[in-house]
Amino acid sequence: MRLPDSVTGSFLVVLGTAAAYGGWLLPPVPGQPVGPNVFPLVIGIGLALCGLAIVFGIGHTFEEEEVLIPLDGQTAAAPPPQGKLYGLRALLPPALLLFYVVAADRLGFIITAAIMVYVTSTALGAKWKLALPLAALAPFAIHLIFGKLLRVPLPAGLLPTPW
Amino acid sequence: MLKTLIEAFALISTWEVIIAMFAASVYGLVIGSLPGLSATMATALLVPVTFYLSPIAAIATIVAASSMAIFSGDIPGALLRIPGTPASAAYADEAYAMTRKGQAELALGAGVWFSAVGGIAGVLSLMILAPPLAEIALSFSTFEYFWLALLGLMCATLVARSSPVKAIAGMFLGLLVSCIGIENPGGVPRFTFGLTDLFGGIEPIPALVGVFAVAQVMRAMLTPEPPPLPRRKFGSIMAGQWMLTKKYHWQMTRGNIVGIIIGVLPGAGADMAAWVSYAMSKRFSKEPEKFGTGHVEGLVEAGASNNASIASGWVPSLLFGIPGDTIAAIAIGVLYMKGLNPGPTLFTEKASSMYAIYLMFIIANILMIPLGIAMIRVAAYILLAPRSGIMPIIMLCCAVGSFAIGNNMFGVVTVAAFGVIGYVMEANGYPVAAMVLGIVMGTMVEQAFVTSLIKSDGSILPFFERPVAAILAAMAIGALLWPVMVWVWRKVKPVRTGVAATSR
C-alpha cells in the first residue's frame, strides 16, 4: 500500500496540528509553569513540521528504494494477481484479531481460534488437507501452553477443553 | 566480587533457568531460520511467556532466543539467498554465492563460529563498559537524562536506512502514542477520548507485537511464498573455522568492535551492524574484487559484528532504560515487569542479577555452537514447513499473547491497530524502529523534560549549564543537523555523492 508522500505528509500535518491543539486545551497544573500540556504541544508542532517537509519532498533523496533480489536458477513466481481487492487481503490479519475480540467470549477460545487458523491458512494458499488438521490441532496446542501451563484465563465458551 | 559471582551462579543453576534457556534457544533458532520471522518478532512473542517465569529465567529466555535467532537467520540466507532475519540481509548474497561454489559448510560454519565469538565479545564489552558508565550516570540529573534520551532518539533516526525526515516523523508518532493515558505530569486523562481502556496508556509490548508480528503476517498475504530448500548432505561444519580465525583475526576484531559500538548506540541494532561491517570489510579488504563471488572475509566480519551488537545493546538499556535496539526495547519492558528497573543503581543493588545476565549471555553463545550445528543439519526439514502452516500459529500467539499481558481484550485491539500502523508505515518508507523507540522512551523523555523545565522555572538556559549536559546537548543537536550537512555537502560536491551517501 504505497501512498504518495503528499498524502502521508498531509496526514501527519493534520495529526500534528490536532495533537498540538489537543495538548493546548489540557488544564495546566496550578502554580506551575509547565504541565501535561507542554509535551503534546512540542510533539504536535514537530510532527506537523515533519509532515510539511515530507509534502515538499525534503529528505526524499536519502531514501533507498528496496531492491528485490531476483532468484536465479529458477524462474521467478508468476506475478501476483493485481486487482483492486487483492490489496485488501493484507487487512485480513487485523480483521481476524478483531473477530477474536468480538467472538472469543461467546464462542470460546477453541472455536474462535480454529476459525482464525483456518481462514489465515487458506488465505495463504493452503489446501484443506493442511488447513483443516491445523485448525483442529493448533488451538488445543496453544490452549495447552497458555491456558494450562501459563494459566491465562482463556474463555471456555461453547466448547470447554477436556482439561 | 567473588561472592556476587557465586551468587550469580546459584541464580542461574536452577532447573527453571536451564530449561527456559534451552527451550528458548531452540525456539530462537527455529524462528530465526524461517524467512520473514525476525529476531525482534521472536522476542516480542516470547514476552507473554516470560510473565510466568522468575525474573532470571525470564531474562534468560530473551537473551538466548535473541542471540540464537540472529545467527540462524544466516541459514536460509546461505542456502536460499533469503535472509531469515534482517540482520543477515547484508551478506546473504555472499553466503549464497559460497553455497553455489560448494562451500555451504564453510559459510554456515563461519556463521556459527563468528556469531559465537562476536556474542562473547559483546558480553565482555557489557561487563567492562557498564560499571564505569554507571559511576558516571549516578551524577546525572534530569537535564542529562533529557539530552541522553533525545540523543538516543536522534541516533535512531540517523541510522535508519530511509529519509531522516520520515524517521523523525516516525519518532514523533511514537512519542505521541506515549502521551496517551493519565500517566503524565498533571495526572489528567490525555488523548483518551473518554475510553477507559486508554486511561492506562498504550502498553509498549502489544504495540511491538503488532508492529513486528501482525504487520509481517499482513505482508505475507501479498507476497509469494519462498521456494522450498533443496535437501543436501553437509560435510564437517566446523572444519577450517580455526584457520579462518587465524587468517582473518583482524577483520573479526574490527567486526566485534564495530558491532559493539553500533549496539551501544540507541536504536541501531544487529541489522545496521551487519551492513556497516560488511561495507567496511569490503572497503579495507586486500582483495575487494573477490567480494560478491563467494568470499568468506565479509561473512566473518559481519557475522562477528551482528552478534556483538546484541549484547552491547543491553549497555544503555540496563544503565539508562534507553534501548540499544528493538530487542533491548522489549527486554526493558520485561526488566521493569520483573522489578529490575533499569538505572545505574542496578549494578550496586542487584549486582548478582547483573552477573547472572553476563553469565547467561556467555552460556547462550557457547550453547550456540552445538545447537547451531544441529540446526544447520535439520534446517532442510524445518524450512519444508509451508508459510500457510506457520503464519496462522503466529496469529494465534499474537492474539493470546497480547490478551495475556493484561488479561483484557483491549490488548488484542492494540495489536491489531499497530499491525495496520506498522504495515502502512513500512510500506511508505517510515522506519518503524524509530516509532517503537518513541513509544518505549516517551514517558521517560517527557518526565525528564517537564521536571527539568519546572526546576529551571521555564528557562531553557540550565539545559546547557552543566558540562555533561552541554556535551550531550551538542551531540544531540549535531545528530539532528547531520542530515542537513550531508545534504549541503552533496549539493556543493555533486561528484562525490557516492562517498557522502555511504559515510552517513
pLDDT in tens, B477-500: 888 888 788 778 877 875 544 444
CA B167, B205, B62, B426 dihedral sign is negative
Residue with cell 522489549: B330
Is residue B244 a contact partner of residue B295, using CB atoms and an 8 Å limit? no
What pLDDT is attached to residue B432? Answer: 86
Distance CA B251, CA B397 (A): 40
DSSP element (H, E) containing B449 = helix B432-455
Does any CB of chain B come closer than 8 Å to the CB of residue A80?
A: yes
Vertex B42 angle, CA B38 and B46, to 5°: 165
Does any CB of chain A come closer than 8 Å to the CB of residue B500?
A: no
Distance CA B369, CA A45 (A): 51
Q: Which residues of chain B lie closer than 8 angstroms to A64, CB-CB?
A: 161-162
Residue A63, SS3?
coil
Residue B190, SS3?
strand
What would the mean pLDDT of B37-49 be, rounded to a whole number?
A: 86
**ipTM, two decimals:** 0.87
Q: Which residues make Cβ contacts (< 8 Å) with residue B472, sequence separation at least 6?
A: B144, B147, B148, B151
- Give the pLDDT band of residue A63 (cuts 50, 70, 90): low
pLDDT in tens, B156-175: 777 666 788 888 999 999 99
Q: Is the pLDDT of residue B118 over 70?
A: yes
What pLDDT is attached to residue B85? Answer: 79
Instruction: Work out the percent of chain A whose per-residue pLDDT is above 90.
Output: 27
CA distances from A72 to A9, B90, B93, B413 (A): 38, 18, 12, 42
Q: Is the pLDDT of residue A69 over 50?
A: no
Is residue B157 a contact partner of residue B345, using CB atoms and an 8 Å limit? no
Nearest-10 crossing angle of helices B142-159, B432-455: 160
Does any CB of chain B come closer than 8 Å to the CB of residue A45?
A: no
Shortest distance between the Cα of A139 and any Cα of chain B, in A, equals: 8
- Residue B28's closest CA among B405, B433, B389, B367? B367
Q: Which residues make Cβ contacts (< 8 Å) with residue B398, sequence separation at least 6?
A: A97, B45, B209, B210, B213, B214, B217, B415
Local structure of residue B181 (DSSP, 8 states): B
Distance CA B309, CA B256 (A): 8
CA distances from B389 to A91, A122, B227, B395 (A): 19, 9, 15, 11
Residue with cell 525528564: B448
What pLDDT is attached to residue B228? Answer: 67
Shortest distance between the Cα of A124 and any Cα of chain B, in A, equals: 5
What residues 427-446 of chain B have any CB closer than 8 A to a CB of chain A? 427-430, 446
- Give the pLDDT band of residue B324 (cuts 50, 70, 90): confident
- Grid coordinates belonging to B101: 561454489
Between B162, B179, B396, which is nearest A40 by CB?
B179
Is residue A97 a contact partner of residue B412, using CB atoms and an 8 Å limit? yes
- Grid coordinates belonging to A30: 496550578
Instruction: Work out the percent of chain B whose per-residue pLDDT is above 70.
Output: 96
Distance CA B52, CA B46 (A): 11
Does any CB of chain A come closer than 8 Å to the CB of residue B222?
A: yes
Q: What is the number of H-type helices and E-type strands within chain B?
A: 24, 0
What residues 131-160 of chain A have any CB closer than 8 A to a CB of chain B? 131, 134-135, 138-139, 142, 146, 149-154
What pLDDT is attached to residue A83? Answer: 62
pTM of the model: 0.83
Q: Which residues make Cβ contacts (< 8 Å) with residue B497, sequence separation at least 6?
A: B490
What would the mean pLDDT of B269-287 be, rounded to a whole number?
A: 85
Distance from the first to the final alpha carbon of chain A: 44
Q: Burial of B46 by CB count in 10 Å (0-12 exposed, 13-18 middle, 19+ buried)? A: buried
Q: Which residues of chain B lie closer than 8 angstroms to A154, CB-CB?
A: 400, 403
Q: Determine, for residues A124 and B395 on separate chains, whether the beta-carbon distance falls below 8 Å.
A: no
What would the mean pLDDT of A57-76 be, rounded to a whole number?
A: 55
What would the mean pLDDT of B211-225 be, rounded to a whole number?
A: 85
Between A3, A36, A123, which is nearest B185 by CB?
A36
Is residue B399 a contact partner of residue A101, using CB atoms and an 8 Å limit? no
Q: Is the pLDDT of residue B334 over 60?
A: yes
Local structure of residue B210 (DSSP, 8 states): I
Q: Determine, for residues B400 and A142 on separate chains, whether the beta-carbon distance falls below 8 Å.
A: yes
What pLDDT is attached to residue B486? Answer: 79
Shortest distance between the Cα of A40 and any Cα of chain B, in A, equals: 7
Is residue B40 a contact partner of residue B211, using CB atoms and an 8 Å limit? no
What would the mean pLDDT of B229-242 be, rounded to a whole number?
A: 74
Distance CA B198, CA B218 (A): 25
Q: Is the pLDDT of residue A157 over 80?
A: no
Size of interface A-B (CB pairs under 8 A): 236
Distance CA B43, CA B204 (A): 13
| Residue type at position A134 | L
Is residue B84 a contact partner of residue B32, using CB atoms and an 8 Å limit? yes
Q: What DSSP assignment string belongs to B124-163?
A: HHHHHHHHHHHHHHHT--HHHHHHHHHHHHHHHHHHSSS-
Q: Is the pLDDT of residue B501 over 60?
A: no
Distance CA B241, CA B235 (A): 13
Between A46, A60, A101, which is nearest B163 by CB?
A60
Local structure of residue A58 (DSSP, 8 states): T
Nearest-10 crossing angle of helices B104-138, B92-100: 160
Nearest-10 crossing angle of helices B142-159, B467-492: 20
What pLDDT is attached to residue A75? Answer: 40
Q: Which residues make Cβ contacts (< 8 Å) with residue B449, sequence separation at least 6?
A: A38, A39, B146
H-helix segments, B189-248? 204-209, 215-222, 241-247
Shortest distance between the Cα of B221 and any Cα of chain A, in A, equals: 6
Between A74, A93, A117, which is nearest B419 by CB?
A93
Shortest distance between the Cα of A160 and any Cα of chain B, in A, equals: 16
Is residue B403 a contact partner of residue B47, using CB atoms and an 8 Å limit? no
Q: Which residues of chain A lie closer than 8 angstroms to B162, CB-CB?
A: 62-64
Q: Kindly list the domain boundaries of chain A, sorted by start residue.
A: 5-61, 87-149
Local structure of residue B196 (DSSP, 8 states): G
| Residue type at position B481 | L
CA A80, A86, A87, A90 dihedral sign is negative
Q: Which residues of chain A lie closer than 8 angstroms to B221, CB-CB?
A: 89-90, 92-93, 123-124
DSSP element (H, E) containing A99 = helix A92-107
C-alpha torsion B134→B136→B139→B144, nearest 10: -100
Is residue B362 a contact partner of residue B124, using CB atoms and an 8 Å limit? no
What pLDDT is attached to residue B415? Answer: 92
Does any CB of chain B come closer than 8 Å to the CB of residue A20?
A: no
